[in-house]
Amino acid sequence: MSEVARQFVMAGFKEPELMLVAAKRMRETVKGEVEAYTPYPVHGVDEALALPKSIIPKMVGTGALFGVCGGYTLLYWCSVIAYPINVGGRPLHSAPAFIPITFECGILLSALTAFFGVLAWMGYPRLYHPVFESPGFRRASIDRFWISIELAGDDPNKLQAELKELGAEETDFVTEQLQ
Amino acid sequence: MADLARTISPSITPEPLIEGPDDDLTLTDSVFAPVWKPTAKGWWFLFMICLGGTGMLFSAIGWTVYKGIGVWGNNIPVAWAFGIINFVWWIGIGHAGTLISAILLLFQQKWRTSINRFSEAMTLFAVICAALYPVVHTGRPWFAAYWLFPYPSTLGIWPQFRSPLTWDVFAVSTYFTTSLLFWYLGLLPDLAALRDRSTGKWSQRLYGIFSLGWRGAGRHWRDYMSAYTLLAGVATPLVVSVHTIVSFDFATAQLPGWHTTIFPPYFVAGAVFSGFAMVVTLIVPAREFLGLKNVITLRHLEAMNKVILATGWIVAYGYAVEIFNDWYSGSRYELGHLHEKMLGPFAPFFWMQMFCNVVVPQIFWKRSLRRSLLVMWIASIFVNIGMWLERFNIIVISLHRDFIPGSWAAYAPTIIDVSLFVGTICFFGMNFLLFLRFVPSVAANEVKELAHEMRHTHV
């Protein structure tokens, strides 16, 4: 936790389109980081916030590779090195018979990486965030489209007025509660 | 598909996937209503029945563990019976959930949105029921992990990886893990919405904790959607691999009736067929009682019935190939198997299977029957029964007449077998009722996204 409480100017919009315009404008004119909050993925947020591509596919790809290599290595080590048994004269290294488990290990590791990787990358679980200080933000998961601007030297009152002009239904100014 | 249909014939306008008012707040509240409403008497009634059945299940498991698996009806030559029949049946039911949630997501089939959460939950509980059987069948479940998973023990003994049964262990446990993660990840935004809509202190806290603090940030949605789609992407080949591997349990044996290459595709199609039937069986009453008719419309149900009809034909093709191969092989054992199947002591089961799985789905050719709630509900129960009989016939008919007449014997389940089977149905029902009570059974965020899309593009 940082020692200095972060401050955010927030604005809630009824329509995603208005929010997108405002988010884009804020990103271009304000120093602090702009974030958008929507109840469902809205097309255009990535462009409005100029987000780079997600890292998740690379993460999952790496997981899959580890799964496949690890799975096959496990099978090979168990069947050939650690516990070689002759079953009906079949080769100890029975590559075709190793395919199904190798495949499943690849899937398992991809799934685990996708789930835990994405949560860790997004920083969850994290039950508290300053944006929750705004009472109106409770509708951000239901039917309102919010943006937040972390203050980095801008005047909060001026920002709020500007957001109102951009069509915000309500605006707010919140401060992080430090323990 | 919708676009294609409109290009070909502009007069075709599909029915809306969401009926009635479609603003975000109304949709959220209608989807969440069953969670907030006080517990209905009917729910308690069903829950108590299922709880009783679950008690019976665990008593039967306890008795099996205490006395040994001799209390089951299977013995040589029918060494596999209810245990594996029910295992395959439950796993198959689970597959439709993954199909609906993953494959239809990748194909961008919009109609999956209202039913995916529901079917994913069905998958989870079905896989739990399925996994119970092989674990209990080991006789000493506390040793199961030691026999099945390659974990380092002081004995230095490792599982036999050339056996499809070990493949099964990996397939089913991967399948359960992936389904659980996929379901929970899909649930996150809705848990956050429940947190924000709830008024009670405890419900806020609990839903808050389970939502992990989700706040729907744009950066998060980007990564979230990427992870969700990738999970769907890995779940798709997974679901095909799981039932393929289940079919290898049989297909790699030399027994007439098992030793056939049609098994993998035919098992996968059968799984989808029975799974969709189970979704219909559950969803028809659930949408009625939970008041979800505006989001789970007749169009959804009709689409599911079309899938049942289509996969029913793949299954029918599988039956035809089996029969053809028995005849074409010229092997007296294969022919003997065919004779036993059609005219032997278990022949009524075979003909009942044909009736349930091949004849009954044909009613779905007619649009009015495809859209009749009562007809589809009864038909889906026939398919569930038919698919159970299919597994019974594959396993018992093949095993009870093998190569040497001296080893032929009849098979009958014991009361413990029946209690285990009925018990898992009740256990499944109990889990499902708890799910309907505490978790929104329709993905609210996805329905809202769809409604948003519909408002803007008139899908």
Enumerate the domain spans of chain B: 37-141+161-181+244-457
> Does A18 touch chain B if contact means CB atoms closer than 8 Å?
no
How many Å from the N-terminal Cα to the C-terminal Cα in chain B? 11
Query: B-chain residues within 8 Å CB-CB of A83?
Result: 156-158
Please name each of the domains of chain A with its CATH number.
Answer: 7-53+127-175 (3.30.70), 56-122 (no CATH)
| Per-residue pLDDT, A102 | 96
Indicate left, alpha or beta for A123 from its phi (over 0: left) and psi (-120 to 50: alpha). Answer: left
Average pLDDT for chain B: 89
pLDDT at B11 over 80: no
> Does B25 touch chain A if contact means CB atoms closer than 8 Å?
yes
pLDDT, one tens digit per residue, over B382-418 is 999 999 999 999 999 999 988 888 989 999 999 999 9
| Per-residue pLDDT, B125 | 94
How far apart are alpha carbons A5 and A36 in whole angstroms? Answer: 20
pLDDT, one tens digit per residue, over B419-448 is 999 999 999 999 999 998 888 888 888 888
CA A9 to chain centre: 22
Write the residue in A51, A107, A121 that is nearest to B174 by C-beta.
A107
Write the residue in B25, B166, B238 that is nearest to A142 by C-beta.
B25
Q: What are phi and psi of B443, to 5 degrees?
A: -75, 100
Q: How confident is the model at residue B9 (pLDDT cuts 50, 70, 90)?
A: very low
pLDDT at B255 over 60: yes
| Per-residue pLDDT, B8 | 46
Of B9-18, B95-104, B119-128, highest mean pLDDT: B119-128
- Of chain B residues 156-215, which have a CB less than 8 A from chain A? 156-162, 164, 166-167, 170-171, 173-174, 177-178, 181-182, 184-185, 189, 192-193, 195-197, 208-209, 212-215
Q: How confident is the model at residue B82 (pLDDT cuts 50, 70, 90)?
A: very high
Average pLDDT on B367-387 reads 96
pLDDT at B14 over 90: no
Average pLDDT on B261-289 reads 91
| Burial (CB count within 10 angstroms: exposed 0-12, middle 13-18, buried 19+), residue B374 | exposed
| Per-residue pLDDT, B306 | 94
Q: How confident is the model at residue B159 (pLDDT cuts 50, 70, 90)?
A: confident
Average pLDDT on A65-92 reads 93
Element (DSSP H or E) covering residue A145: strand A145-150
Please name the residues in contact with B162: beta carbons below 8 A apart, sequence gap of 6 or more.
Answer: A79, A87, A90, A94, A97
Q: Which chain B residue lies closest to A123 (C-alpha atoms)?
A: B220
Q: What percent of chain A has pLDDT over 70?
A: 98
- Of chain A residues 81-100, which have a CB less than 8 A from chain B? 82-83, 85, 87, 90, 94, 97-98, 100
CB atoms A127 and B160 under 8 Å: no
Rg (CA), chain A: 25
ipTM of the complex: 0.93
pLDDT, one tens digit per residue, over B286-319 is 888 888 888 888 988 999 999 999 999 999 999 9
CB atoms B216 and A39 under 8 Å: yes
Work out the angle at residue B380's Cα, subtended by the Cα atoms of residues B377 and B384, and round it to the nearest 5 degrees: 140
Q: How confident is the model at residue B153 (pLDDT cuts 50, 70, 90)?
A: confident
Q: Which residue, among B215, B180, B207, has the nearest Cα to B438 in the 3D structure?
A: B207
Average pLDDT on B443-458 reads 81
pLDDT, one tens digit per residue, over A93-145 is 999 999 999 999 999 999 999 999 999 999 989 999 999 988 889 888 888 99
Q: What percent of chain B has pLDDT over 90?
A: 62
Write the residue in B167, B197, B221 that is nearest to A101 by C-beta.
B167
| Per-residue pLDDT, A2 | 54
- Give all strands of the β-sheet with A145-150 in edge-to-edge order: A34-37, A145-150, A7-13, A170-175
Q: How confident is the model at residue B1 (pLDDT cuts 50, 70, 90)?
A: very low
Q: How confident is the model at residue B277 (pLDDT cuts 50, 70, 90)?
A: very high
Q: How confident is the model at residue A31 (pLDDT cuts 50, 70, 90)?
A: confident
Please name the residues in contact with B119: beta carbons below 8 A apart, sequence gap of 6 or more.
Answer: B96, B97, B100, B101, B275, B279
Average pLDDT on B137-143 reads 86
> Does A142 touch chain B if contact means CB atoms closer than 8 Å?
yes
pLDDT at B354 over 50: yes
| Per-residue pLDDT, B6 | 46
Average pLDDT on B28-48 reads 86
B227 token code pair: 């992870």
pLDDT at B3 over 60: no
| Per-residue pLDDT, B198 | 87
| Per-residue pLDDT, B349 | 96
- Residue among A35, A104, A121, A149 with most chain B CBs within 10 A, to mutate: A104
Q: How confident is the model at residue B57 (pLDDT cuts 50, 70, 90)?
A: very high
Average pLDDT on B35-59 reads 92
Using an 8 Å Cβ cutoff, are A143 and B25 in contact? yes
Q: Which chain B residue lies closest to A146 (C-alpha atoms)?
A: B217
pLDDT at A45 over 50: yes
Residue B171 Cα, gap to closest chain A Cα (Å): 6
CB atoms A38 and B215 under 8 Å: no
Average pLDDT on A66-79 reads 95
CB atoms A132 and B215 under 8 Å: yes
Regarding predicted confidence, which is higher, B128 or B147? B128
Please compute, for residue A148, the number of CA atoms within 13 A of its CA located in the half-sphere on the CB side: 25
In the chain, the amino acid numbered B171 is A
pLDDT at B95 over 90: no
